[in-house]
Amino acid sequence: MKIAVTGSTGTVGSQVVRLLAASAGHEVVALARRPEAVAGSRTHGPVSAVYADYDDPASLRAALVGVDTLVFVSGDGEAARMLVQHGNVVRAAADAGVGHVVYLSGVDADLASPFCYAFTNGYTEGLLAASGCGFSFARASLFTEFFAAFLRPALVSGELRVPAGDGRVSLVSRADVGRCLAALALLPPSGRHHDLTGPESLTPDGIAQVLTGVAGRPVRYTDVEPGVLAEDLARAGEDPWWTYAYGSMFASVRQDRWSAVSTEVRRLTGRVPLGVADVVGPVA
């Protein structure tokens, strides 16, 4: 089977490439804007690196010729641009006759969500469902590593300052998501979504308690106003787009859109998903 992976130089995509390359009997194609970066990476089996750019439909069509399964790692950056890019990928996959697209989506894949990427994911799922390609939607919860931009400073300051209300979140590690994507790529299309979550759903107070255990000293949660978060991020020099993205993410957390807990990580990988403490780790 010929399996292509987008975003193959990123954290999740490169992990999927390594895992698939380690499984015998499959031809793995790493799609990247910089194929030379893939060629220089360490894998456990043969991998061919092919140029493909989300903004270049012709490159996508050429790269997907003869591909049986595509692991489509969603992009990041400004959501409006992502909508165009994801449309390019879906059309190229359909034109190339790709039989199975494993799409990295989100638990909150809802056009009505305030989270900017929830709209992108919901829209892309709709495109794939109508494309004629077989599909499996890997709906990941919020990455623990993404949330760590707020968790690690809290380990030092003793205060988790986020506008999350009492919303629960089942944070999931990138490593677990990568393993699930690789597993789904080796299965027939499911035609449904798979919720990929951490082992438990925690309120912000619960997350602060976990951080207290990690730090060995008290960490408290302060529910700040959304504007305070924007001011904190601006003061830290955060890019305006990401300031907006973080704000929209916490708006969706306040609506309790990330509280689902599933057993899919264990079912697909045979491993218990990593918890917050496993990923964040102690601070010296």
Summarised one tens digit per residue, pLDDT across range 203-260 is: 999 999 999 999 999 999 999 999 999 999 999 899 999 999 999 999 999 999 999 9
Distance between terminal CA atoms of the chain?
A: 46
Q: Answer whether residue 82 shows pLDDT above 50.
A: yes
Structural domains of the chain, count: 1
Burial class (CB in 10 A: 0-12, 13-18, 19+), 282: exposed
Secondary structure (3-state) at 6: coil
Domain contains 217: no
**Residue span of the structural domain in which 41 resides:** 2-141+173-196
Specify the pairing of strand 193-196 against strand 134-140: parallel
Residue 218: how many CA atoms within 13 Å on its side-chain side? 3
**Angstrom distance (rounded) from CA 261 to CA 181:** 18
- In this structure, is residue 268 part of a structural domain? no
Cβ atoms of 101 and 37 within 8 Å: the answer is no
- Say if 108 falls within a structural domain: yes
Kindly state whether residue 150 falls inside one of the protein's structural domains.
no
Structural contact between residues 53 and 110, judged by C-beta atoms closer than 8 angstroms: no
DSSP, residue by residue, 105-170: EETT--TT-SSHHHHHHHHHHHHHHTTSSEEEEEEE--BHHHHHHHHHHHHHHSEEEE--TT--B-
- What residues are paired with 258 via a beta bridge? 169
The model's confidence at residue 35, banded by pLDDT at 50, 70 and 90, is confident
In a domain, 203, yes or no: no
The CATH code of the domain that includes 50 is 3.40.50.720
Length of the chain: 284
Residue 189 lies in a domain: yes
pLDDT tens digit string along 39-67? 555 555 678 999 999 999 999 999 999 99
- Say if 211 falls within a structural domain: no
Residue in 226, 228, 246 with CA at minimum distance from that of residue 116:
246
Query: Does a structural domain hold residue 164?
Result: no
The per-residue pLDDT for range 144-154, each reduced to its tens digit, is 998 888 998 99
Q: What is the pTM of this model?
A: 0.94
